[in-house]
Amino acid sequence: MPSQNHFDAIALLKADRKVEVLFAQFEAAKGAAKKQALVQSICTELSAHTVIEEEIFYPACRGKVEEGLLNEGYVEHDGSKVLIAELIASAPNEEFYDAKVKVLSELIEHHVHEEEKRSEGIFSQARAAGIDMNALGECLLARKEAILAEYKAGGIPAPETRTFTGHTLEQGKPADNEAPV
Ligand SMILES: [Fe+2]
Protein backbone atom coordinates (compact mmCIF):
# COMPACT_ATOMS: atom_id res chain seq x y z
CA MET A 1 0.00 0.00 0.00
CA PRO A 2 1.40 3.41 -0.89
CA SER A 3 2.61 5.56 1.97
CA GLN A 4 0.77 8.74 2.83
CA ASN A 5 3.30 10.75 0.82
CA HIS A 6 2.62 8.95 -2.41
CA PHE A 7 0.69 11.01 -4.90
CA ASP A 8 0.06 10.17 -8.50
CA ALA A 9 1.84 12.72 -10.73
CA ILE A 10 -1.02 13.03 -13.19
CA ALA A 11 -3.65 13.42 -10.45
CA LEU A 12 -1.51 16.17 -8.94
CA LEU A 13 -1.12 18.01 -12.25
CA LYS A 14 -4.81 17.62 -13.12
CA ALA A 15 -5.68 19.22 -9.77
CA ASP A 16 -4.17 22.43 -11.21
CA ARG A 17 -7.43 22.74 -13.13
CA LYS A 18 -8.68 24.55 -10.05
CA VAL A 19 -7.59 27.71 -11.90
CA GLU A 20 -10.70 27.25 -14.05
CA VAL A 21 -12.78 28.07 -10.96
CA LEU A 22 -10.62 31.12 -10.28
CA PHE A 23 -11.05 32.33 -13.87
CA ALA A 24 -14.85 31.94 -13.52
CA GLN A 25 -14.76 33.88 -10.25
CA PHE A 26 -12.76 36.63 -11.98
CA GLU A 27 -15.42 36.97 -14.68
CA ALA A 28 -18.05 37.52 -11.99
CA ALA A 29 -15.86 39.77 -9.81
CA LYS A 30 -16.57 43.52 -9.62
CA GLY A 31 -14.12 45.31 -7.34
CA ALA A 32 -10.45 45.94 -8.16
CA ALA A 33 -9.22 44.39 -4.91
CA LYS A 34 -11.14 41.17 -5.52
CA LYS A 35 -9.93 40.99 -9.14
CA GLN A 36 -6.31 41.57 -8.12
CA ALA A 37 -6.50 38.88 -5.42
CA LEU A 38 -7.92 36.38 -7.92
CA VAL A 39 -5.25 37.21 -10.49
CA GLN A 40 -2.59 36.76 -7.80
CA SER A 41 -3.97 33.27 -7.07
CA ILE A 42 -4.24 32.42 -10.78
CA CYS A 43 -0.66 33.53 -11.49
CA THR A 44 0.65 31.68 -8.43
CA GLU A 45 -1.01 28.42 -9.48
CA LEU A 46 -0.01 28.70 -13.14
CA SER A 47 3.57 29.72 -12.41
CA ALA A 48 4.04 26.79 -10.03
CA HIS A 49 2.43 24.46 -12.61
CA THR A 50 4.81 25.53 -15.38
CA VAL A 51 7.90 25.27 -13.18
CA ILE A 52 7.20 21.77 -11.84
CA GLU A 53 6.21 20.43 -15.24
CA GLU A 54 9.22 21.94 -16.99
CA GLU A 55 11.72 20.93 -14.32
CA ILE A 56 10.38 17.44 -13.56
CA PHE A 57 7.42 16.12 -15.56
CA TYR A 58 8.25 17.11 -19.14
CA PRO A 59 11.88 15.90 -18.89
CA ALA A 60 10.57 12.53 -17.62
CA CYS A 61 8.28 12.40 -20.67
CA ARG A 62 11.00 13.16 -23.23
CA GLY A 63 11.47 10.16 -25.51
CA LYS A 64 8.25 8.58 -24.22
CA VAL A 65 5.65 11.11 -25.37
CA GLU A 66 5.27 12.37 -28.95
CA GLU A 67 7.96 15.06 -29.35
CA GLY A 68 5.79 17.61 -31.16
CA LEU A 69 3.12 17.50 -28.48
CA LEU A 70 5.66 17.98 -25.71
CA ASN A 71 7.26 20.90 -27.58
CA GLU A 72 3.82 22.49 -27.95
CA GLY A 73 3.36 22.15 -24.20
CA TYR A 74 6.56 24.14 -23.60
CA VAL A 75 5.53 26.84 -26.09
CA GLU A 76 2.01 27.08 -24.63
CA HIS A 77 3.59 27.55 -21.20
CA ASP A 78 5.84 30.31 -22.55
CA GLY A 79 2.86 32.03 -24.16
CA SER A 80 1.04 32.01 -20.84
CA LYS A 81 4.13 33.41 -19.07
CA VAL A 82 4.01 36.58 -21.18
CA LEU A 83 0.45 37.23 -20.00
CA ILE A 84 1.31 36.24 -16.42
CA ALA A 85 4.23 38.71 -16.42
CA GLU A 86 1.91 41.41 -17.79
CA LEU A 87 -0.72 40.75 -15.15
CA ILE A 88 1.74 40.60 -12.24
CA ALA A 89 3.02 44.05 -13.26
CA SER A 90 -0.36 45.71 -13.80
CA ALA A 91 -3.52 46.69 -11.93
CA PRO A 92 -7.20 45.92 -12.62
CA ASN A 93 -8.00 49.52 -13.57
CA GLU A 94 -5.49 49.42 -16.43
CA GLU A 95 -6.62 49.12 -20.02
CA PHE A 96 -6.72 45.54 -21.41
CA TYR A 97 -6.39 43.97 -17.93
CA ASP A 98 -9.65 42.00 -18.20
CA ALA A 99 -8.84 41.04 -21.80
CA LYS A 100 -5.43 39.70 -20.74
CA VAL A 101 -7.07 37.55 -18.04
CA LYS A 102 -9.62 36.26 -20.56
CA VAL A 103 -7.01 35.39 -23.19
CA LEU A 104 -4.88 33.69 -20.52
CA SER A 105 -7.91 31.58 -19.54
CA GLU A 106 -8.44 30.57 -23.18
CA LEU A 107 -4.79 29.70 -23.64
CA ILE A 108 -4.88 27.55 -20.50
CA GLU A 109 -8.12 25.88 -21.61
CA HIS A 110 -6.40 24.83 -24.85
CA HIS A 111 -3.28 23.71 -22.95
CA VAL A 112 -5.31 21.58 -20.53
CA HIS A 113 -6.96 19.91 -23.52
CA GLU A 114 -3.57 19.08 -25.07
CA GLU A 115 -2.32 17.62 -21.80
CA GLU A 116 -5.43 15.73 -20.82
CA LYS A 117 -6.83 14.59 -24.18
CA ARG A 118 -8.00 11.00 -23.86
CA SER A 119 -5.43 8.47 -25.20
CA GLU A 120 -3.55 11.04 -27.33
CA GLY A 121 -2.72 13.69 -24.72
CA ILE A 122 0.61 14.11 -22.93
CA PHE A 123 -0.71 12.54 -19.72
CA SER A 124 -2.23 9.50 -21.46
CA GLN A 125 0.93 8.89 -23.47
CA ALA A 126 3.09 9.22 -20.34
CA ARG A 127 0.87 6.79 -18.43
CA ALA A 128 0.93 4.30 -21.33
CA ALA A 129 4.75 4.53 -21.45
CA GLY A 130 4.92 3.11 -17.92
CA ILE A 131 6.51 6.13 -16.19
CA ASP A 132 6.50 5.66 -12.37
CA MET A 133 3.82 8.21 -11.52
CA ASN A 134 4.10 7.74 -7.76
CA ALA A 135 7.83 8.51 -7.70
CA LEU A 136 7.28 11.46 -10.03
CA GLY A 137 4.31 12.66 -7.99
CA GLU A 138 6.42 12.84 -4.85
CA CYS A 139 9.03 14.97 -6.64
CA LEU A 140 6.35 17.25 -8.10
CA LEU A 141 4.63 17.71 -4.76
CA ALA A 142 7.85 18.48 -2.88
CA ARG A 143 8.95 21.00 -5.52
CA LYS A 144 5.50 22.60 -5.63
CA GLU A 145 5.43 23.08 -1.86
CA ALA A 146 8.89 24.68 -1.97
CA ILE A 147 7.86 27.00 -4.83
CA LEU A 148 4.66 28.10 -3.09
CA ALA A 149 6.68 28.88 0.06
CA GLU A 150 9.12 30.94 -2.05
CA TYR A 151 6.26 32.86 -3.70
CA LYS A 152 4.64 33.50 -0.33
CA ALA A 153 7.87 34.91 1.07
CA GLY A 154 9.08 36.90 -1.92
CA GLY A 155 6.18 37.21 -4.38
CA ILE A 156 5.88 35.59 -7.79
CA PRO A 157 9.17 36.04 -9.65
CA ALA A 158 9.38 37.02 -13.32
CA PRO A 159 8.58 33.80 -15.24
CA GLU A 160 11.49 32.08 -17.00
CA THR A 161 10.78 31.11 -20.60
CA ARG A 162 12.15 27.85 -21.99
CA THR A 163 11.42 28.30 -25.70
CA PHE A 164 10.95 32.05 -26.31
CA THR A 165 14.38 33.58 -26.82
CA GLY A 166 16.06 36.78 -27.82
CA HIS A 167 13.21 39.03 -28.83
CA THR A 168 13.06 42.70 -28.07
CA LEU A 169 9.55 43.93 -28.75
CA GLU A 170 8.57 47.48 -29.58
CA GLN A 171 5.82 48.65 -27.25
CA GLY A 172 3.01 50.64 -28.83
CA LYS A 173 -0.71 51.13 -28.50
CA PRO A 174 -3.73 50.25 -30.64
CA ALA A 175 -4.17 52.85 -33.39
CA ASP A 176 -7.76 53.46 -32.25
CA ASN A 177 -6.41 54.80 -28.93
CA GLU A 178 -4.71 57.72 -30.64
CA ALA A 179 -6.47 61.05 -30.75
CA PRO A 180 -7.56 62.07 -34.27
CA VAL A 181 -5.47 64.83 -35.85
FE1 LIG B 1 1.15 22.41 -18.42
Give the model confidence (pLDDT) of 76-122 as tens digits. 999 999 999 999 999 999 999 999 999 999 999 999 999 998 889 99
User: Ligand 1: distance of its center to the CA of 156 in Å?
Assistant: 18
User: Ligand 1: distance of its center to the CA of 113 in Å?
Assistant: 10
**pTM of the complete model:** 0.91
Q: Which residues lie below 8 Å from residue 156, measured CB to CB, with a gap of 6+?
A: 40, 43, 44, 47, 84, 88
Q: Which residues lie below 8 Å from residue 160, measured CB to CB, with a gap of 6+?
A: 81
Alpha helices, H only, 15-132: 19-28, 32-52, 58-61, 67-88, 97-116, 122-128
User: Ligand 1: distance of its center to the CA of 23 in Å?
Assistant: 16
pLDDT at position 119, please?
A: 84
Alpha-carbon distance of 26 to 10, in angstroms, equals 26
User: Ligand 1: distance of its center to the CA of 92 in Å?
Assistant: 26
User: Ligand 1: distance of its center to the CA of 174 in Å?
Assistant: 31
pLDDT at position 178, please?
A: 65
Residue 6 — pLDDT band, cuts 50, 70, 90?
low
User: Ligand 1: distance of its center to the CA of 112 in Å?
Assistant: 7
User: Ligand 1: distance of its center to the CA of 111 in Å?
Assistant: 6
Residue 166 — pLDDT band, cuts 50, 70, 90?
confident
User: Ligand 1: distance of its center to the CA of 169 in Å?
Assistant: 25
One-letter amino acid of 7: F
- C-alpha closest to that of 57 among 118, 153, 159, 129: 129
